[in-house]
A and B are shown apart, each in its own frame.
Chain A
Amino acid sequence: MSEVSNVTKIQELIYELKVSDACVNNLITIKPEIPMNKLRFILRDNCISGVPVVDRGILVGIISIDDFIEWLYDGHLACSVRDRMSREISSLCLDEPLISAVQRFEKTGFGRFPVIDRKTGMLSGIITKGDIIECLLHKLEIDYHEEEIHRYRASHLFEDIIGDRTSIRFSSTVEGEDFKEAGRASSGIKKTLSRLGVHPHIVRRAAIASYEAEMNLVIYTKGGEITVVVDSQLIIITIKDSGPGIEDVDKAMEPGYSTAPDWVRELGFGAGIGLVNIKRCADSMEIFSKPGEGTIINLEFNWNSQ
């Protein structure tokens, strides 16, 4: 991952993740009447730096290692947690985005916040800055690993397979008139090309060309197949169907000329620029069609100039 994408990913995660993703739910609480000298054991045995103080089910304060140190410094006179706890309770809700927590930490300088369930008003957990960092790292690692594993496996294919000419071939079937699934094949092609290490600009052109062709299959035919062959230099995309065929290919390539029925326009297509767009996206395009028999479109994209 480049440095720039790292920063953006973290920013993305901070807005996307919620306090509930980072907070600790194993809730340890303490009663206000507990003597201060017992606090040390509770903090130490649980490896925590602070505890919410709960009196008969109600959050009344929060006490931390800092309070304990202050108490020691003040002469550690016998008293209860109630006497030394912080009553200024600032809490966060489970459903708030992490960015709220980060801003609150920055603003108040507190070390931890109790976390409340907004619906019930009940204390649900506790969150520290450390918890936020751990959560972000964990999520970054998972996302990074998953995609990296896919990308690594795929992008080394050409090196790992021994031969003078190696190519990868994959194809998808497209059902005619299935508008719900339309685009699924092209979405898969986009992801695969990206994993193979093709430059994003080329991936986008190939995906758009494939998608326009896929929409044509769905709109005008009973269905067809999109086949992709990738070798070390070229991506070749072939779109094939068995009908109805194009009456006048030259006319069909004219921008604005459309034989699409009106209902297709309501779906956002049928503007008569699909084939033209495909031609602009691809490095080369061949189109063969015979009315009554079907259409074949061959597209080529140069992807590896080595």
Chain B
Amino acid sequence: MTFQKFLEILDARQVTSSQPHGNINCIFASDMMSEVLTLQETDIALLTTLNNLQVIRTAEMQDLACVCFTFDKTPSEDTVKLAQEKDIPIVCTSLCLFEACGKLYEAGMRGGKKRE
């Protein structure tokens, strides 16, 4: 799905001005960065409430399409700064994690799989 559609479905607002380099391939919802790092796909959109710098580092290493904070969680200033530096898109939605996942699933998005 396109980034614009993703934003529309979640009624999300952009926190940084970066855009993903392509479409969003699949979704992953987790606060465990360890798990995110085991995914085999690229261009994954991460839904999370974990508010620390390691979210951005994880996004950088795993080449995530974007990071979406749910339930109005606001990323810290340091997090936003690092994201801007590394050109990683951050967005925020008021929807809770469950609803956000539900809406994306309804729209045809599926989850990521572990690396073999």
Identify the A interface with B (CB < 8 A): 5, 8, 11-12, 15-16, 179-180, 182-183, 186-187, 190, 200, 204, 207-208, 211-212, 215, 265, 267-274, 277, 280-281
Q: A268 with B33: in contact, given A12-B21, A16-B19, A179-B52 (CB under 8 Å)?
A: yes
Kindly name the residue among A207, A211, A268 whose own CB sees the greatest number of chain B CB atoms within 10 A: A268
Q: Say yes or no: B116 contacts A268, CB within 8 Å.
A: no
Rounded to whole angstroms, the CA-CA distance of A11 and B52 in the bound complex is 30
Which secondary structure dominates chain A's binding surface? Answer: helix
Q: In the assembled complex, which residues on chain A have CB atoms less than 8 Å from the CB atom of B19?
A: 11-12, 15-16
Q: Which of A8, A182, A271, A273 contacts B57 (CB 8 A)?
A: A182
Rounded to whole angstroms, the CA-CA distance of A208 and B116 in the bound complex is 14
**Is B50 an interface residue when CB atoms closer than 8 A count as contact?**
yes
Q: Say yes or no: A186 contacts B61, CB within 8 Å.
A: yes
Q: Hey, what's the 0/1 contact readout for B7-50 against A, CB within 8 Å counting as 1?
A: 00000000001110110000000011111011000100000001
Identify the B interface with A (CB < 8 A): 17-19, 21-22, 31-35, 37-38, 42, 50, 52-55, 57-58, 60-63, 78, 86, 115-116
Q: Say yes or no: A208 contacts B54, CB within 8 Å.
A: no
Rounded to whole angstroms, the CA-CA distance of A187 and B63 in the bound complex is 12
- Within the complex, what minimum Cβ distance (angstroms) separates B66 from chain A? 13
Q: In the assembled complex, which residues on chain A have CB atoms less than 8 Å from the CB atom of B54?
A: 179, 182-183, 215, 267-269
Rounded to whole angstroms, the CA-CA distance of A211 and B59 in the bound complex is 11
Rounded to whole angstroms, the CA-CA distance of A269 and B60 in the bound complex is 16
Rounded to whole angstroms, the CA-CA distance of A5 and B21 in the bound complex is 8
Q: Which of B17, B42, B57 contacts A183 (CB 8 A)?
A: B57
Q: In the assembled complex, which residues on chain A have CB atoms less than 8 Å from the CB atom of B42?
A: 204
Rounded to whole angstroms, the CA-CA distance of A65 and B77 in the bound complex is 48
Q: In the assembled complex, which residues on chain B have CB atoms less than 8 Å from the CB atom of A265?
A: 32
Q: Which of A204, A267, A270, A271 contacts B61 (CB 8 A)?
A: A204
Q: In the assembled complex, which residues on chain B have CB atoms less than 8 Å from the CB atom of A273?
A: 34-35, 38
- Within the complex, what minimum Cβ distance (angstroms) separates A186 from chain B? 6
Q: In the assembled complex, which residues on chain A have CB atoms less than 8 Å from the CB atom of B61?
A: 183, 186-187, 190, 204, 207-208, 211
Rounded to whole angstroms, the CA-CA distance of A200 and B21 in the bound complex is 14
Q: A190-B60, A204-B61 are in contact. List 18 more A-B contacts (CB 8 A).
A: A15-B19, A179-B53, A183-B53, A183-B54, A183-B57, A187-B57, A190-B61, A200-B63, A204-B62, A207-B60, A208-B61, A215-B54, A268-B33, A268-B34, A268-B55, A271-B35, A273-B35, A277-B37
Rounded to whole angstroms, the CA-CA distance of A183 and B78 in the bound complex is 14
13 contacts between A and B (CB under 8 A): A187-B61, A204-B62, A207-B60, A208-B37, A211-B57, A265-B32, A267-B33, A268-B58, A269-B32, A269-B34, A271-B32, A272-B34, A277-B115
Q: In the assembled complex, which residues on chain A have CB atoms less than 8 Å from the CB atom of B31?
A: 268
Q: In the assembled complex, which residues on chain B have CB atoms less than 8 Å from the CB atom of A269?
A: 32-34, 54
- Within the complex, what minimum Cβ distance (angstroms) separates B37 from chain A? 5
- Within the complex, what minimum Cβ distance (angstroms) separates B77 from chain A? 13
Q: Say yes or no: B38 contacts A280, CB within 8 Å.
A: yes
Rounded to whole angstroms, the CA-CA distance of A212 and B62 in the bound complex is 11
- Within the complex, what minimum Cβ distance (angstroms) separates B49 from chain A? 10
Kindly name the residue among A5, A200, A211, A270 whose own CB sees the greatest number of chain B CB atoms within 10 A: A211
Rounded to whole angstroms, the CA-CA distance of A186 and B61 in the bound complex is 8
Q: Say yes or no: A268 contacts B50, CB within 8 Å.
A: yes
